[in-house]
Structure 1
Amino acid sequence: MRKRTLYTILAAAGILTVASCKKYLAVDSPSTVLLDDVYNSVSNTNSAIVGTYAMLIGDNGYGSRIATLFPQSGDDFRTSGDYNADDRRGISCYGASPANTDLPNCFNQLFKGIERANNCIKYIPLSKPYTSGSENDKKMMRKMLGEALTLRAQFYYEAVRNWGDLPAHFVPAADLTDPYLPRTNQDSILDHIIADLATAEELVPWRSESPDQNIRITKAAVKGLRARIALARGGYALRTASKTMERGSDYKKYYQIAMDECKDIMDHPTEHSLNPVYENLFKTLHSATRLDNEHELIFEVGAFGGNASSDSKLGYYNGMRHNASSKYGGGGGGINAIPTYFYEFDSIGDIRRDVTLNSFEIDADSKKIATTGAAMTDGKFRRSWTSIIGTAQNLAVNWPILRFADVLLMYAEADNEINGAPSATAQDALLKVRKRAYVGYESRIPAIPQDKEGFFKAIVQERLLEFGGEGIRKYDLIRWNLIAAKFAETKDKLREFMNGTGRYANVPAYIYTKAAPYAVKSSGEEMATMDLYGGAPAKVFFEPGLGTSSAPSGSGYTSKAWRASVTEDYISGDRKGYVRYFEANKKELFPIPLDAMNSNYKLEQNFGYK
C-alpha cells in the first residue's frame, strides 16, 4: 500500500539521517565516514533522500501547522477561537508576536530540511554510483539529486514567503566558515532555487517513467513548482529596504518562465489532466485507494505512521467537525469559513461549494446537522473519509502541494500578463477548470473575459473558488498586492451580510434544522438531504425565512444563527475580529521566531514587529 511502503522507507531512513539542525544552523559535525557510506550506496542514498522528504510532514510541517495555520487568514477561511498573539490565533489575526509558540518549530524544521537537502546535493555528485556506477545506478542517483534540489526549493520557498529575507544556506552547515549568516534578499534566494529547479527538471523523470509515481517528485512537480515560485518572484513582496510591497521591473521574465513550464505540462496530457470528479481529489488524499486516474494530484505530501513526526492531523484539527461520541471519533473545526465565502459560489451550478465548505457537522449520533453561519468549516478534509476511528489524532491524510488545475490557471494568468490579453489557449485553460466545476450545469458557466483586466479579475475569482482550504489564497493575494484591498472588501461584505443588505438581502438571519442521516455520500447529496425547515437547502439559504431566533413551536427543529452569527465583534472586535491586526506593508510577513534570533546574532527582526 502506498502509505505503508513509504513509511517503511522512512523508518529505515531514521538510522541513516545525516547532520541536521537542532536549532537554526546549530548542527552536529557530520561524520565523513558515515557520509561516504551513505552516498556510495544507491539504497542508502535513497534513505537519505526519504529522510529529506520527512521534513515536509508532521505537526511542524504540512501535516499540521504549515498547512493549516500559516495560510490563515484570507478571504476564504480563518482560524477558530479568540485572538492570542502567542498562539495560532495570533497568526490568523495577523498579530503574531515573535514569541508565538506555533512558529519556531516550523521555522527550524524547514531549515532542517534545507540542511538535509544540502548534504544530498553536495555528496551525490561526488559518489561512486553517480560518477562510475552502472547506467541504472547513475540514472537513480541523478533522479535523487533532482529530488534533493526540488525539496530544498520547496523548503526555501515556504520559508521565504512567510519570513521574507533569510540567510542563504546552500551548502552543508559543516562547510560554512561562519555559521552566523545575515539575511539575504529574498529575490536572490528565489533566483537561486528557480535555477536549481531548471537543473532538477532535467534529472527527474515524468510520472509514467518513474519507478515510484504518486510517492515521489516527478518532472511535472518540478516544473509546476518552478512556475509557482517564478510567479512569486515576479509578483509583489514586502521589501526590507523600502518597507513597502513592491515587484521588480523585470517581472515579466518570471511570468514567461511560469508560462513555459505550465505549457510543457499541459503538452503532456497523458501524464496529468483534470480529474472529472472534483471531490475525488480530496477523497484520494484520505485513503490508499486512489480515485485520481488522471493524476491531477501532481505532488502531495505523504502522511503515515500514527505519530506527530511522520503523520498529519489533517481532518482532526481542521475539516468537518465530528462529535467525539460519533462512530467516527472526534475532530475538525479548527478552521472556519468566512460566511460570505459560501455566497461567492454559483448557488446552483458550482459543485465546488459543497466540497469546499461544510455547512453541517456530525453530531453524537453520527448524523448531520446544520452549523451556524460563522461555524462552517473547510470541507476538503473529513475524518469520516478515513478508516481511522476512535480517539486517534493522526489520520494519515496527505496534503496537496500541487494539482493540474493550478497549472492551468497559472498558465492562463501568465499568458494574460505577458500578452496584454488572454490568448485562446489561456481562455481554454480557464474554461477547462470551470467546465469541471459546472458539470451538468454548463449553461451557467460565466463568460470568459477577452480583455486583460477582466480576465485577471476572473482568474482572481476562479482561484478563490478552486483552491479554498488548500493553503493557496493568502499567498496569491500577497503576490498580487491585493491582500489589503481584499480584506477591506471582505469586511464590507461581512457588514452587508450582518445587516442583510446588498447581495445578502435575502439571506436568512436564522435557519432551523433537525439531525438527518449521514451516509458519507457525495458532498452535493449530503448537502441536498439536510433537514431544514422551509424546504431544501437550495431554497432555505437564499430566502429570508422567519427571521426569528425561535424555531417554530412544536416543530422539533433547532434554531441556528446564520446571518445573525456575524456581529460587529466578529468583524472588528479585539479578540474575535477578522484579520483584526493586519497592517499593510508590515504584516504580510511573520515575525522571525525569538528562538532563531537568539541562535544567530546577525539576524534582524522583520520591521513590522518589535
Structure 2
Amino acid sequence: MKKSITICALAAGALALSSCSDFLDQNSPSELSQEHVFNNEYYTSAVINQIYGDLTNDRTYSQDWAILYGLGTDCELVDGIGSTATAASERGYFNYNFDGEYSNTNDMWTKMYATIEDANLAVEGIENSPIKNNKNMQMYLAEAKCLRAMVYLDLIRAFGDIPMKFETSKSDLSNAYQGKTDRDVILDSLINQVESSIDALPWAGMSNYTTEHVTKGYAHALVAQLAMTRAGYAIREQAKSGYETASYSDPTYPTQRPDAETRKALYEKALNHLAVIINSGVHKLNPSFENEWYLINQLTLDTQYKENLFEIPMQQNVSGELGYTAGYRLNGVTTQYGFTNSSGKLKLTASLFYSYDSTDVRRDITCATTQIVAEKRVHSDTTKVTLADGSVEEKIEKTTDTQCAVESALGNAPFGLYCGKWDPRMENANWLDQNIKASAKHLTGINVVKVRYSQILLWYAEIMNELVGPDAYYNGSANLTAREALALVHKRASKNLAVANEYINNIPANKEDFFNAIVQENAWELAGEGARKWDLIRWNLLAQKIYEMKQDYLNNIVSVKPEKVYFNYVKGTTYPETKIDMSSITWYGLPEGKTSKDYDGSFTGFGKLDTKQTETNLNSIAGGLVGTDAKVFGHGAVINRYLIPIGSKIIDASNSYLQNSYNFKN
C-alpha cells in the first residue's frame, strides 16, 4: 500500500528558504503519493515547512516549551504560589506537585510525537527518493533530522526515558506501540544523526538562508547540547552499572551520570562543535544586550551579528505567546498601547534582581519592576489670555484622559516580577496598530529563540573549565580560555567596564569557584528564557539552588534591603507623572545627601517583612521538589523528581506498553 501525504501548497515560489510567515501560509490541501512528493524538491520543501509549522502549536513551542516547561528554578517561577501551588494545573506541576493530572501534558506529548512523525515521514521519503543526492534534498533531510532531535531532547527533559521511534507508523500499526528506551540510548543516536547532517546545512546568511531555519551553527550547537546533556546528571528509573551516583540522590530512583572517561569524551565532542561555531565568525554577540531584545520584539532578524543561532518562526496573529502570556505587563486597556495582556505566567524573583550588579544592563531588561496600568488621570494646561485692556491673564484648563498609560512600580512582590525581555513597548508598529484596535487576545508573533551565542560561550567556558580549569588552553578549543569566554558575556552586559573587569579578574583560578561563577552568569544572562532549568538538572543543582534562593530571601533581602524605595518621574512630557525614571529608583537605600523629599513617590520594597511572603508563599515554591519548609533543605516523595508523569490518556492508549515510574500513579 502506497502512503499518501497531504501537501499544503505554499505561496507561489515559496521554498523552505522562505521567511517565517511561509511556514504558516498553507492552503489548498491535496493528497499526493509519497513517491510523487519526494521526487519533487518543491513538494519536499512543503513537507519540511510543515514540520516548522508543527512547532508553532501552543502545546509545542508557541506556549508550552517557550514558557512553561522551563519554570520551577531558583529564579523562574510559575504564577502559582501559596494556596494555588498544589493545583491540578501548571501551577501545581511547576511547583513539582503532581498529585492531580494536568491535562495539557497529554496534549503536549501527542503534539510533540506528531512532529516527530512528520519528521520521520520526511526522512524516510528523502532517503528513498531518486533525487536524494540533490543539494537541496540533502539540506531538507538535515533539517528534518535536526528538528526531530530537538523535539526528542525536550521530551527527554520532561519525561526521562521515552519511546524511540525513527520510522513512520505502518498502516497495520505493527510499530505504533512501543515501550520506553533508555534516554542515553536515544541521546547517543541523536548525536550521531545530527553530526551526520551538519555538512548539508548552510551557515546563516548564505544564499538568504536565515536563522528561522536549522542553520549549520545551530546543528553544531545541538550536538554540543546533546553531548552535555548525555554527560550530565539525570534521575534514573533504576541504577545503571558503571555510572556515578550523586551524593544527593534517591535510593530507589538514583541521580546518576556516566563515568569520568565517558564524560571527558562527551565534553571533548561538545568542545569541538562549539569551537567550530566560535571560529567561524558567523555568529557573534550583539554588542548591545538591549538591542538584542529590541530586535526580537520587533520581529526583526539580526542579520549583522546573528546572535540567535535558531529562532522557531512564529507569525503575528497566528502564533507566539511571548509578549502576551509572558513578558512586561500591560494591566488594562490604554489609548497608547491598546488591549491588555496576560503576562503573569512566568515570574522572576527579588533574589535574582538583587543578585545583579547595579551597573548590569540585564537587570532592568530581565526583571520588570514596573507595569503599565490604565488610570484616569487629570492634567492641567495653562494658557495666557490677552484681555481687552491689554493685560494678560493665565487660564487653567483641566483635561481628563480615562485611558492614560501610567507606569506603576510593582511594590512588594518578591516572587512576582514579570520578565521584561518580551516587552510590548518594544514591539513593532504593526502589532501596536492591531493591539490598539483589538478587543480580545491576539498573538505577538515573537520568535522562540532556541540557542543564543552567549549560551555557546557559557557552554564553552564550562567545558574548558572542566577539562583544564579557568585559564589554560586545550587542544581543539577556539583559542579562548574559560575566563576569556565568560568575560565576553559578562562585559557585554556592563555599563562600567572597570567594574566588570574587576569581577572577572577576581574569580579564583580554581575549577570549583569558576564553575560557580558560570552557574551565576547563566542566571544573569538567561533568566526567563527556559534554558536554566535544564543546565541546573544536568549539574544536579536544581534543588540546591532553589533552597539557596529561599535562604537568600530570608537572610539578605528581608533583613538587609530597604523597606521603602523612592523614585522620580521623567520630567518634561505631557504627562510628567506617568513614566518612572528607572535610574532614580533607590533600590539600595537613599543615596548620601538625599532625603525622601527629593523624590516624587515611593513604594514598599521587596524586603519588607511580610508573613504571607515568608511563611506561605516562600514555603510553597517548588514544594514538591524541595519540601515546604523554606528553612530546611528538604525534598518531596522522591529526591530530585523534577520529571513529570506521563498523562493517563497516553498510558491508556499505549496498549499497555507505557507505565509511569518515579512513584507516579498510572
What band does the TM-score fall into relative to the shorter chain? 0.7 to 0.9
Select which of 469, 483, 492 maps to 1:436: 492
Moved more, 48-57 or 258-267: 48-57
State whether residues 513 and 560 of structure 1, in contact with CA within 8 Å, keep that contact through their aligned partners in structure 2: no
Alignment partner for residue 220 of structure 2, among 217, 223, 226? 223
**Superposed counterparts of 1:320-331, under 5 Å:** 320-326=328-334, 327-328=336-337, 329-331=339-341
- 1:73-106: CA deviations, max 9, x gaps? 1111211133243211112211134621232222
Q: For 1:154, what is the secondary structure of its paired residue?
A: helix
**Residue 234 (structure 1) shift:** 0.4
CA apart distance, 1:464: 1.0
Larger Rg: 2
Matching residue of 1:262: 274
Q: Which residue of 2 aligns with 1:37?
A: 36
> Over aligned residue pairs, what C-alpha RMSD do you find?
2.9
2:417 is matched with which residue? 376
Moved more, 72-81 or 113-122: 72-81
C-alpha contact (below 8 Å) 1:420/1:452 kept by paired residues: yes
Q: Is the 8 A contact 1:340 1:494 kept in 2?
A: yes
Deviation, structure 1 residue 128 = 2.6
Partner amino acid for 2:273? E
- Please say if 1:88 is aligned against 2:138: no
Asked whether 1:114 is paired with 2:160, we answer: no
Q: Distance in 2 between matches of 1:14 and 1:339?
A: 51
Alignment-derived partner of residue 155 in structure 1: 151
1:235 to 221, 232, 235: 232
Alpha-carbon distance in 2 for matches of 1:108, 1:48: 19
Q: Give yes or no for the alignment of 1:251 onto 2:306.
A: no
1:273 alignment counterpart: 284
1:406 aligned to 2:465? Answer: no
Offset, 1:317: 0.8
2:606 paired with 1:562? yes
Structure 2 counterpart of 1:197, from 191, 194, 197:
194
State the secondary structure of the residue aligned to 1:460.
helix
Q: Is 1:212 equivalent to 2:253 in the alignment?
A: no
1:249-274 CA-to-partner distances (Å, cap 9, x unmatched) read 122221111111000101111x1111
Partner Cα separation in structure 2 for residue 226 and residue 185 of structure 1: 19
Kept in 2: contact 1:285–1:397 (CA 8 A): yes
Distance 1:236 1:571 in 2: 31
Please state if 1:483 is matched with 2:542: yes
SS of 2:25 mapped into structure 1: helix
Give 1:516 shift. Answer: 5.6
Q: Which residue of 1 aligns with 2:54?
A: 55
Deviations 1:561-586 (A, max 9, x none): 5223x745445638972112213634
Specify the alignment match of 2:466 in structure 1: 417
In the superposition, relative to structure 1, how do residues 556 and 9 fare at CA in structure 2: closer, same or farther (>3 Å)? closer
- 1:8 alignment partner, one of 22, 40, 44: 22
Match of residue 406 from structure 2: 367
Change (3 A) 1:452 1:594: same
Match among 578, 589, 594 for residue 543 of structure 1? 589
Flag the structure with higher strand content.
2
Residues 274, 460 of structure 2: 8 Å contact kept: yes
Partner of 1:27: none
Amino acid of the structure 2 residue aligned with 1:198: E
Question: Which residue of structure 2 aligns with residue 393 of structure 1?
Answer: 442
Query: Which piece of structure 1 moves more, 207-216 or 589-598?
Result: 207-216
User: Aligned-pair distance for 1:367?
Assistant: 2.6
Q: The residue matched to 2:104 in structure 1 has which SS? A: coil
Cα distance in 2 for partners of 1:292, 1:274 equals 12
Paired residue secondary structure (1:543): coil
Shift of 1:290: 3.7
Q: 1:10 to 1:559 in 2, by over 3 A?
A: closer
Counterparts of 2:528 and 2:447 in 1: how far apart (Å)? 14
Cα–Cα, structure 1 residues 290 and 593, in superposed 2: closer, same or farther, change >3 Å? same
Q: Distance in 2 between matches of 1:130 and 1:346?
A: 54
- Following TM superposition, by how much is the alpha carbon of 1:342 offset from its aligned partner in structure 2, in angstroms? 0.6
Alignment correspondent of 1:301: 312
Counterpart Cα distance in 1 of 2:610 and 2:180: 42
Given the alignment of the two structures, is residue 466 of structure 1 paired with residue 516 of structure 2, yes or no?
A: no
Cα contact 1:3–1:288 (8 A) shared by 2 = no
Cα distance in structure 2, aligned partners of 1:4 and 1:323: 36
* 2:310 is the counterpart of 1:289: no
Question: Does the 8 Å contact 1:340/1:493 carry over to 2?
Answer: yes
Matched residue, 1:69: 68
**Counterpart residue type for residue 371 of structure 1:** L
Instruction: Indicate the residue corresponding to 2:564 in structure 1.
Output: 510
State the 1:14 CA deviation. Answer: 7.7
Residue ranges of structure 2 left out of the alignment (5+ in a row) = 1-13, 240-252, 375-403, 474-479, 626-635
Q: Which amino acid aligns with 1:508?
A: P
The residue identity in structure 2 corresponding to 1:155 is V
Following the alignment from structure 1 to structure 2, what is the Cα–Cα distance between the partners of residues 406 and 322? Answer: 30
> In 2, Cα distance between the equivalents of 1:117 and 1:604?
26
Deviations 1:441-465 (A, max 9, x none): 3333312442211221111111111
Distance 1:422 1:159, change over 3 A: farther
Query: In 2, are the aligned partners of 1:422 and 1:451 still within 8 Å (CA)?
Result: no
Residue 344 (structure 1) shift = 1.0
* CA contact 1:498–1:567 (8 Å) conserved in 2: no
After TM superposition, the score normalised by the length of structure 2 is 0.79
d(CA) in 2 for partners of 1:93, 1:517: 43
Q: Deviation of residue 324 (structure 1)?
A: 2.4
SS across alignment from 1:367: strand
- Residue type matched to 2:136 in 1? M
**Pairwise mapping of residues 575-586 of structure 1 onto structure 2 (< 5 A)?**
577-582=620-625, 583=636, 585-586=639-640
Q: Secondary structure at the match of 2:59?
A: coil
Change (3 A) 1:450 1:141: same
Match of 2:130 among 128, 131, 136: 128
Q: Tell me, which stretches of 5 or more residues in structure 1 are unaligned?
A: 17-30, 132-137, 520-525, 546-550
Q: Separation in 1 of the partners of 2:607 and 2:160?
A: 38
Contact 2:202/2:209 (<8 A) preserved: no
Are 1:491 and 1:571, in contact at CA under 8 Å, matched by a contact in 2?
A: no
1:13–1:151 Cα change, 3 Å: farther
Deviations 1:312-355 (A, max 9, x none): 111111111112212322112222211111111112x2111111
The 2-side partners of 1:48 and 1:572 are apart by 53
Paired with 1:241 and 1:55, the residues of 2 have a C-alpha distance of 34
Distance 2:611 2:542 in 1: 21
Partner of 2:142: 146
Secondary structure (helix, strand or coil) at the match of 2:651 reads helix
Give the corresponding residue for 1:21: none
Q: How has the CA–CA distance of structure 1 residues 289 and 423 changed in structure 2, closer, same or farther, with 3 Å as cutoff?
A: same
Distance 1:60 1:155, change over 3 A: same
| Aligned-pair CA distance for 1:518 | 12
Q: Distance in 1 between matches of 2:617 and 2:649?
A: 27
Question: CA–CA distance in 2 between the matches of 1:513 and 1:58?
Answer: 42
Residue type of the alignment partner of 1:6: C
| Aligned-partner Cα distance in 2 for 1:179–1:573 | 46
Residue 341, structure 1, aligned to residue 352, structure 2: yes
